[in-house]
Amino acid sequence: MSAAAPAGAQPPRASANVCQAASCLAMGSAQVCRALEAEVAAAGLDDVAVRRVGCLGLCAAGPLVEVPEQGRIFERVLPGDPSSREGLLASLKGEARGGRPVASDPFFSRQVKVVLERCGTVDPENIDDYLATGGYEALAKVAGSMSPDEVTSEVVKSGLRGRGGAGYPTGLKWRTVAKEAGAAGKFVVCNADEGDPGAFMDRSVMESSPHQVLEGMAIAGYAVGANRGYVYVRAEYPLAAERLALAIRQAERRGYLGARVAGTRFSFHVELRMGAGAYVCGEETALIASIQGERGTPRPRPPYPAASGLWGCPTLINNVETFANVPSIIVRGGEWFASIGTERSKGTKVFSLAGAVKNTGVVEVPMGLTLREIVFDIGGGLAPGRRFKAVQTGGPAGGCLPEELLDMPVDYESLTQAGSMMGSGGMIVMDDTTCMVDVAKFFMDFCRQESCGKCVPCRVGTHEMWRLLDRMTRGVASRWDLEQLESLAGMVRAMSLCGLGQGAPSPVFSTLRYFRDEYVAHIDEHVCPAGSCHMGTAEPAAAGVSPA
């Protein structure tokens, strides 16, 4: 189902790689693919292949089609508009015109692709494509010729840290799980419950290279001594789930998953579990409860899942991107991986650039690149006439970083020090029309709705903070409210049970730290400097608690 290439050994002279990830599909890239096939056939280009591939990165300009032989990416190739395909067809015939040159366009040329190596080059629904690019070589090498300890050592050497946000050293986590006895078995869980507003990089990886994630999981299973794995993917990602399910079936049929992985005695079975729409289920203990069929609420740690996770068994939980890094680390070695990035943050990081930048999309950059390089060079800056105001990283537990910090390197420590966090990789750029009090209110509203309701500080605290922020954005708040907000934020951060509540006050803290004058303007002068708040409006009906 991959290529419309002519039969025979002759490789196609040129190919049109049509993006089939969610955002391009929403713009009609499936129809584009069919139209293109017809047009290629009509033009008699039987040495041209039309291929379905994963995410090409520049989601803002979809549907995207790449002609790798020409090194060009064509934007907005719309299904109902044949003229949008003229340049593309010319390019397939061998003329170099139109499109964006991949080699010289900073959006593409400034990126370093490890996780996204196969995104946009392989057909996500075809295991042969993955195998042709060296897929499952790492797993075969690991299961065939390495001891579990050697595998873990390689990951330790790589310096890879958890890409879900907290940045816990992955090798150390693997070693901890490997050392557990686990008489009743162990588990590997892939956390694919990506829920931060504005984050979509894990979705992109799963939709574009699902086998890479599965391979990473199987390698982890071998290293820690687990024979069963779960991918916990949110139901809001139906395409990712569908492609993962297909990938699991294909890998089982080819002997890369299931009993006797790659012909060895190691067995590894993977199952999909769908999340039912609760953000808190991205928290590892809530995720475990959810897989077990219980209400998705966190429990206090310790015991950590590494000691007591799924059904009380030692459980390794890593994020999608973390697992997707693993095959490359095994093939090219931990030292190679450690040579990318900074002293304490190794490798690359995938970000989903969103908000007020020109080039919205999924990007992968080496750790240590500055925010300015990401937002202005790769992101292409803001729309003409708009001024950069802040960039939000880390989702609802992260913070807003102002212009002064644009030259800060992006790594775990710098971001945390600046009052934000790496988070899973959402990066939302805001311009001068965005009110920072309103941003804090937005994230607090998110946390208040997503709080599971188990512990008091998070359940009541996020709601009360949201109400105070709401008063501010309506111009009816006093200095007393600001004092209350700060005191509440400190209490909720310190007292909450899990990361959701502990992180919920972060957007408030960071906006107060860098944009306090905006709060003061709302309160003292009843003015919204960005002009986005409707001052003097009545309390909305939703301010109270909705009755049962």
Partner 1 sequence: MSEVRTLQIDGKDVAARSDETILCAAEENEIHIPTLCHLEGLSDVGACRLCVVEVEGTPKLMAACTTTVEEGMKVTTTSERLVAYRRRAIEMLFVERNHICAVCVANNNCELQAHARNVGLDHFELPLMHPALPVDASHERFVMDHNRCILCTRCVRVCDEVEQAHTWDVAGRGTGARIVSDLGMPWGSSTTCTSCGKCVQVCPTGALFEKGRSISEPKARRPYLPYLVRVKERER
| Minimal distance, residue 495 CB to partner 1, in Å | 5
The only residue of 5, 460, 527, 535 in contact with partner 1, by rule CB under 8 A: 460
Quick one: which H or E segment has residue 484?
Answer: helix 479-495
Quick one: which H or E segment has residue 479?
Answer: helix 479-495
User: Is there binding between residue 546 and partner 1 (CB under 8 A)?
Assistant: yes
Quick one: which H or E segment has residue 428?
Answer: strand 426-431
DSSP per-residue letters across 132-185? HTTTTHHHHHHHHH--HHHHHHHHHHHT-B-TTTT--BHHHHHHHHHHS--TT-
| Minimal distance, residue 466 CB to partner 1, in Å | 10
Exposure of 103 by Cβ count < 10 A (0-12 exposed, 13-18 middle, 19+ buried)?
exposed
Kindly state the number of chain residues that form the binding site for partner 1, as judged by CB under 8 A.
Answer: 38
User: Is there binding between residue 273 and partner 1 (CB under 8 A)?
Assistant: no
User: Is there binding between residue 463 and partner 1 (CB under 8 A)?
Assistant: yes
The only residue of 455, 472, 489, 512 in contact with partner 1, by rule CB under 8 A: 455
Q: Which stretch binds partner 1 (CB under 8 A): 175-183, 285-293, 367-375, 483-491?
A: 483-491
| Minimal distance, residue 510 CB to partner 1, in Å | 19
| Minimal distance, residue 314 CB to partner 1, in Å | 18
Question: What type of residue sits at position 345?
Answer: S
DSSP per-residue letters across 260-296? SGGGSS--BEEEEEEE-S-GGGGSHHHHHHHHTTS--
Residues of 366-400 as b/e, b for ≥16 C-beta within 10 angstroms? bbbbbbbbbbbbbbbbbeeebebbbbbbbbbbbbb
| Minimal distance, residue 487 CB to partner 1, in Å | 8
Q: Which stretch binds partner 1 (CB under 8 A): 142-150, 264-272, 384-392, 540-548?
A: 540-548
Q: Give the Cα separation of 191 and 211 in Å (integer).
A: 15
Of 115 and 278, the one with the shorter C-beta distance to partner 1 is 278
The only residue of 491, 517, 531, 537 in contact with partner 1, by rule CB under 8 A: 491
The only residue of 211, 459, 474, 522 in contact with partner 1, by rule CB under 8 A: 459
State the residue for tokens 């003409």. Answer: 384
CA of 510: how far to CAs of 24, 44, 397, 429, in Å?
34, 59, 10, 15
The only residue of 109, 417, 449, 537 in contact with partner 1, by rule CB under 8 A: 449
Of 424 and 462, the one with the shorter C-beta distance to partner 1 is 462
| Minimal distance, residue 445 CB to partner 1, in Å | 11
The only residue of 34, 249, 299, 516 in contact with partner 1, by rule CB under 8 A: 299
Cis omega before residue 63 (within 30°)? yes
Q: Which stretch binds partner 1 (CB under 8 A): 50-58, 107-115, 128-136, 460-468?
A: 460-468
Question: What type of residue sits at position 468?
Answer: L
Contact track, partner 1, 162-201, x by CB under 8 A: ----------------------------------------
Cis omega before residue 302 (within 30°)? yes
Of 131 and 172, the one with the shorter C-beta distance to partner 1 is 172
Q: In the chain, how many H helices and how many E strands?
A: 21, 14
| Tokens, residue 402 | 């102002």
User: Is there binding between residue 448 and partner 1 (CB under 8 A)?
Assistant: yes
User: Is there binding between residue 456 and partner 1 (CB under 8 A)?
Assistant: yes
Of 43 and 543, the one with the shorter C-beta distance to partner 1 is 543
| Minimal distance, residue 6 CB to partner 1, in Å | 55
Contact track, partner 1, 495-524, x by CB under 8 A: xxx----x----------------------
| Minimal distance, residue 545 CB to partner 1, in Å | 4
The only residue of 11, 238, 453, 531 in contact with partner 1, by rule CB under 8 A: 453
Of 218 and 472, the one with the shorter C-beta distance to partner 1 is 472
User: Is there binding between residue 467 and partner 1 (CB under 8 A)?
Assistant: yes
Q: Give the Cα separation of 509 and 65 in Å (integer).
A: 43
Of 225 and 503, the one with the shorter C-beta distance to partner 1 is 503
User: Is there binding between residue 312 and partner 1 (CB under 8 A)?
Assistant: no
Of 299 and 516, the one with the shorter C-beta distance to partner 1 is 299
Q: Which stretch binds partner 1 (CB under 8 A): 63-71, 189-197, 297-305, 306-314?
A: 297-305
Of 26 and 456, the one with the shorter C-beta distance to partner 1 is 456
Biggest CA–CA distance in the chain, Å, is: 77
The only residue of 29, 170, 462, 510 in contact with partner 1, by rule CB under 8 A: 462
DSSP per-residue letters across 185-201? --EEEEEE---STT--H
> Which of 299, 314, 279, 283 is CA-nearest to residue 191?
283
Q: Give the Cα separation of 379 and 373 in Å (integer).
A: 8
| Tokens, residue 259 | 């009993």
> Which of 205, 200, 204 is CA-nearest to residue 217?
205
CA of 429: how far to CAs of 253, 371, 412, 520, in Å?
44, 10, 19, 23
Q: Give the Cα separation of 383 and 208 in Å (integer).
A: 29
The only residue of 413, 432, 464, 486 in contact with partner 1, by rule CB under 8 A: 464
The only residue of 76, 295, 479, 516 in contact with partner 1, by rule CB under 8 A: 295
User: Is there binding between residue 547 and partner 1 (CB under 8 A)?
Assistant: yes
Q: Which stretch binds partner 1 (CB under 8 A): 179-187, 234-242, 349-357, 485-493?
A: 485-493
User: Is there binding between residue 452 and partner 1 (CB under 8 A)?
Assistant: yes
Q: Which stretch binds partner 1 (CB under 8 A): 170-178, 294-302, 311-319, 528-536?
A: 294-302
Q: Give the Cα separation of 213 and 294 in Å (integer).
A: 26
Q: Give the Cα separation of 512 and 500 in Å (integer).
A: 20
Torsion of Cα atoms, 257 then 262 then 266 then 267, to 10°: 20
**Binding interface with partner 1 (CB under 8 A):** 278, 295, 297, 299-300, 302, 448-457, 459-464, 467-468, 484, 487-488, 491, 494-497, 502, 544-548
